[in-house]
Amino acid sequence: MDDATLAWMTEALGASKVREVGSISFGIVSDLRLVEADDRSFVLRRYFDDALLQRFPHLVSDEAKALVEARSVLGDLVPEPVAVDPSGDRAGRPALLMTYVPGNVQIHGLDPSRLAAPMAMLHASEPPKELPRSRNWFEPERLAVPEWSESRGPWAELVEMVLGPEPQSTFAFLHRDLHPGNLLWQGNELSGIVDWAFASRGPRALDVAHTRANLALVDGVEAADRFLDAYVARIPRYRHDAWWDAAELFVFIDDFSGPLALNTFGADLDIDLLRSRTDVYARSLVLTA
C-alpha cells in the first residue's frame, strides 16, 4: 500500500499510525485490505474495475450512504463507513474505509431462517430516498437458451416468460447481492453482512430472487426453496413470482465468475456442476410458474 493511501487513512482516522495487515478479498471488482490503527481494525475497499465505475459513477458514495442506512436497520451486522474518497484523489483509486466486522464466510448448508431474517427486516424498513433505483441485471437482447444446456425446452419457456411484463412487487430497501460470500458467521450466529455496493431501492422480489439463484447454484434447488419458505414465514403477505427467479437466473448463464469466486472459501464448484444445477433450477421454475 502506498504512502499517500496510508496518509489519507491516518488523517481520516486521527490515528498515530496505520498499518496494512493483508488482503481479505477474492477481488472480482474491488480489493479489500485489512488495516490496523491504534489497536482498532478497519477495512479499506478500493475499486479497480474502470468499466464498472463508468457505469456507476456514484458507486462509492452510494455504498457509504447504504452502510449508514443499513446500520440504522440491522445495527452492527453492517460495517460503519469512516471515510470516503469517491474520486480516488487521496487513496489512488475510488475508496471506502469502514469498520471491520469479525466473522468467517460459510458457503454450504446455511440456515435459511438466519438468511431470511435480516432481509425481511431490511425490506420492512423505509427505502432510503438517497439510494439509486435498482435495475435488472439481465440484458433483454441477449436472452436465449444457453448453448450448453441439456434442458432446452424449459429454457425456451423462461425466455418467453422474461420477455413478458415485469410483475408487480413492493418497493423496498435492497441489499441486491445477498449471497453466502457476503455473509459472515461466528459459530452458528450471523455476525456480518458486507458488500453493499449495489444497495438500492427496488422490488423486494429482486433481492429474494438473487439470493435464491445463488443458493440454487451453491447448494441446489432445495436450498433456494427453503430460503423462500423462511422469507414468507417472516412476511406472510409476500407472494413470489417465478418471473423474478428466471430474470436473475439469466444473469448467470454466460458468467459464473461470482459463484466460482466462492471456491476461495472452499465452495468446491466447477463449471460443469454449476451448469447442471442451473439446468435443474430452470426446470423447477417452469414447473412452479
Quick one: 235 and 266 in the same domain?
yes
pLDDT at 27: 60
pLDDT at 26: 59
Quick one: 136 and 19 in the same domain?
no
Structural domain boundaries, residue 263: 112-288
Quick one: 118 and 78 in the same domain?
no
- Does residue 107 lie in a domain region? no
Quick one: 80 and 152 in the same domain?
no
Total domain count, the chain: 2
pLDDT at 1: 82
Quick one: 89 and 121 in the same domain?
no
pLDDT at 175: 98
In angstroms, the CA 259 to CA 181 distance is 9
- Does residue 174 lie in a domain region? yes
Beta bridge partners of 44: 33, 97
pLDDT at 84: 97
Quick one: 151 and 186 in the same domain?
yes
- Does residue 195 lie in a domain region? yes
Whole-model pTM: value is 0.95
3-state helix, strand, coil in the chain (%, to 5): 45, 20, 35
Of the residues 64, 99, 134, the one at which a domain ends:
99
Quick one: 183 and 157 in the same domain?
yes
Of the residues 53, 75, 99, the one at which a domain ends:
99
Q: What is the radius of gyration, based on Cα positions, of the chain?
A: 19
In angstroms, the CA 126 to CA 108 distance is 32
Provide the CATH number for the domain around residue 172: 3.90.1200.10
Quick one: 116 and 76 in the same domain?
no
Quick one: 155 and 271 in the same domain?
yes
Let me know: does 183 contact 192? Beta carbons within 8 Å: yes
Quick one: 12 and 141 in the same domain?
no
- Does residue 197 lie in a domain region? yes
pLDDT averaged per 10 residues, the chain (length 289) = 91 90 78 93 93 91 97 98 95 95 95 95 96 93 95 97 96 97 94 96 98 98 98 97 97 91 94 97 94
- Does residue 32 lie in a domain region? yes
Quick one: 187 and 271 in the same domain?
yes
- Does residue 105 lie in a domain region? no
Q: At 43, list the grid cell.
A: 477495512
In angstroms, the CA 273 to CA 280 distance is 11
In angstroms, the CA 148 to CA 151 distance is 9
Provide the CATH number for the domain around residue 8: 3.30.200.20
In angstroms, the CA 267 to CA 215 distance is 12
Quick one: 152 and 83 in the same domain?
no
- Does residue 194 lie in a domain region? yes
Of the residues 41, 64, 99, the one at which a domain ends:
99
CB 173: neighbour CB atoms within 10 A? 25
